[in-house]
Amino acid sequence: AKASMKCKENFTSQGVSNLLWAFANAGHVDSDLFSSLAPVTSSLLVECNSQALANIAWAYAVSNVDDDSLFGKNSPFVAVCTEKANDFTSGGVSQLHQWNIWRKELTGAPSDLPPSVQQRGLKAFMSKGFQKSALQENVVSELSYLGFPLQQEVVTPNGYRLDIIVELDGKRVGIEVDGPSHF
């Protein structure tokens, strides 16, 4: 991460996108790295293809690092994504959807993405398949054995899938067994 920060001015749009995605995908959240790269990334947005934009958005959302120079009102991020909206693959628009949810939760502001992109992203995100893990099956088995009423693979209005919902003292509690592997 430190080596990347030292040569950040030499990155191409593809290079910075790949680097951010790799760190986020590996679960190596380095907020200093992401914050350091945000202004450089912002300056390269117009050169990014749709996949690079999706990777950047997803990486910052997964890493939970926000930066006004990259995503703020004066940043070209939403405008560039809107301009390239038809170029996003199903996977890319799904990543953009995750970023969009994260931004709305973080800022409390409505999305700046066009409704058509939001709807396409939600549809792509919700259409992703899922696979239960052995660990999840073991947790379900134990909770059932203990007599907890539960539901499995519950989809939220935003398209997230919770592994288990348990009724506990009259309240519904969501349980995510496998964590970030679903993100």
Closest-CA residue to 12 (of 33, 38, 40, 54)? 40
Residue ranges in the chain modelled with pLDDT below 50:
182-183
Instruction: Determine the pLDDT at residue 83.
Output: 95
pTM of the model: 0.80
- Residue 126 has a pLDDT of 87
Identify whether the C-beta of residue 42 lies closer than 8 Å to the C-beta of residue 80: no
Which pLDDT value is given to residue 183? 44
Contact 96, 117 (CB under 8 A): yes
The pLDDT score that the predictor gives to residue 89 is: 96
The enclosing H or E element of 144 equals helix 134-145
Residue 148 is predicted with a pLDDT of 92
pLDDT at residue 159, as a whole number: 84
